[in-house]
Structure 1
Amino acid sequence: MKVAIMQPYIFPYIGYFQLINYVDKWVIFDDTQYISKGWINRNRMVHPDVKKEWQYFTVPVKKHSRESKINHIEINNNVDWRGEFLRKLEGAYKKKAPYYRETISFVEECIDFRASSLSEWIEHTLKFTCDYLDIAFDYLVFSKMNIGLKEVDHAGQWALEIADAMGAAEYVNPAGGYTIFNESEFQSRNIKLRFLKPQLNPYVQRRGYFVPGLSIVDVLMWNDKEYIVSILDDYDVFSYQELIG
């Protein structure tokens, strides 16, 4: 069984969904410290001004302590963030994107889900997006798994302990995070350590240049579903030794 463990991100980039598509089991790691100004409650889309590459869209959250965990963060539904998000999408894509109508319908149905918990809302959007793209999304939410984990010495051991408790044969992580892992620790538990690196192939954004790594919403705006499903397999998988050379 191949396992991946990631924090919940809103409408993440295509590489996140390539990783979901690759593994057998996904763990939404919501029981760790919430980091503001990260990818948990915001992501990027193209900017309507072609002189600027991108802009953020954000789900606002209520005030919380610095030590708050992701699953304790609440959405600030006292502001019209859904309307603002849709207006940003309209300004950035309506006049140019060939799949604007389909994508807006998808986004409207997705964000209409009402929740106070940011983590629960993201869980819904991830599942909804995977269903939309016909991706098998077999997932668990870490805070509900009741796994008794021992204290860890470094960040990479969280994945080791969770994967081991799940009986994983292989743990897969985005390639950019390889530095936090110790391969010998995984070998001692008979777990293969692998890293997935997406191929972020350019697609037409009608601006004279390509802005990579944007939200899956951007991919949906410019490409039909058949093409998007076909690029879910556009990645390379490396061992730890292959990455470090």
Structure 2
Amino acid sequence: MLEVQSIADSAPSKRVAILQSNYIPWKGYFDLIAMVDEFITYDDMQYTRRDWRNRNKIKTPQGSQWLSIPIKTKGHYFQSIKETEIDGEGWAKQHWRALELNYKRAPYFQWLADELAPYYLSRTWTHLSELNIALIRLICNLLTIKTPLRLSGEFLLDGEKTARLVSICRQTGATHYLSGPSALNYIQPHLFEAHNIVLEWFDYSGYPEYPQLWGPFDHHLSILDLLFNCGPEASRYIQKGITAHA
């Protein structure tokens, strides 16, 4: 049985999270970043198709819509996320047009557009990871998240899966590792215990609703939906997370 407690109840010396970069991630991704002392983007992992690495959802009058970045995958079956190349340039203007069409009535459209549009209209991106990380850094700034962001390539990647995570944690001096719930399928808690690193699980449930366009509320959208609708107040709707010790 897991003993659930608020992050605020503990006083670790250093908490770290490690995740792959995603394209314009949902609010939970940024909530996790805000809850740690250091966040590592794990783009040395293998790129996975039909995943969040190159796509995310926005809201339209007809319901949610995918924005997907075309990727060069032919003959690159085992490429890492950081090696993954974007296929073409036309997608950027298409994505921006979709954002403009569906959020131009949102209260903070212009506030966000001034910051975001240049990433789509004034820059050319060749690699997915470079784009993802640039947008994640921009959004962290807009949400006033001060957590230092680092790349997995800065570390010696030793071992496989859980062993690699433990290795990165040890190199950062982490005493606590905060994991998303999807890792429950593969993570090996005893490897963290062997190095006196406390393994904690992040709980994404219980986010409050915010003013949102187009019909019934939907939590599972890109963070851009929250930013377009709430602007500088967006951080109020990203709750302080809950953890459970493994």
Q: Which has the higher contact order (CA 8 A, sep 6+)?
A: 2
**Count of matched residue pairs:** 230
Structure 1 residue aligned with 2:38:
25
Deviations 1:74-125 (A, max 9, x none): 122x331121011111222223x22222222232033344331211121111
Tell me, what secondary structure is at the counterpart of 1:72? coil
Structure 2: distance between partners of 1:88 and 1:27:
30
Structure 2: distance between partners of 1:156 and 1:67:
19
User: Cα–Cα, structure 1 residues 135 and 110, in superposed 2: closer, same or farther, change >3 Å?
Assistant: farther
User: Cα–Cα, structure 1 residues 22 and 113, in superposed 2: closer, same or farther, change >3 Å?
Assistant: farther
Structure 2 residue aligned with 1:71:
82
Tell me, what secondary structure is at the counterpart of 1:5? strand
Structure 2 residue aligned with 1:230:
236
* Mapping 1:128-143, distance limit 5 Å: 128-143=138-153
Instruction: Tell me if 1:56 matches 2:66.
Output: yes
Contact 2:60 2:214 in 1 (8 A): no
Structure 2 residue aligned with 1:15:
28
Query: So what's the TM-score if we normalise by structure 1?
Result: 0.86
5+ long unaligned stretches in structure 1: 241-245
- Percent identity between matched residues is 26
Contact 2:157 2:164 in 1 (8 A): no
* Mapping 1:197-208, distance limit 5 Å: 197-198=203-204, 199-208=206-215
Tell me, what secondary structure is at the counterpart of 1:46? strand
Query: So what's the TM-score if we normalise by structure 2?
Result: 0.86
5+ long unaligned stretches in structure 2: 1-13
Contact 2:203 2:243 in 1 (8 A): yes
Instruction: Tell me if 1:99 matches 2:108.
Output: yes
* Mapping 1:96-175, distance limit 5 Å: 97-111=106-120, 112-143=122-153, 145-150=154-159, 152=160, 155-175=161-181
Contact 2:112 2:231 in 1 (8 A): no
Q: Which runs of 4+ in 1 moved over 4 A?
A: none
Contact 1:33 1:70 in 2 (8 A): yes
1:2: how far off? 0.8
1:129: how far off? 1.2
Tell me, what secondary structure is at the counterpart of 1:200? coil
User: Cα–Cα, structure 1 residues 205 and 229, in superposed 2: closer, same or farther, change >3 Å?
Assistant: closer
Q: What letter matches 1:182 in structure 2?
A: Q
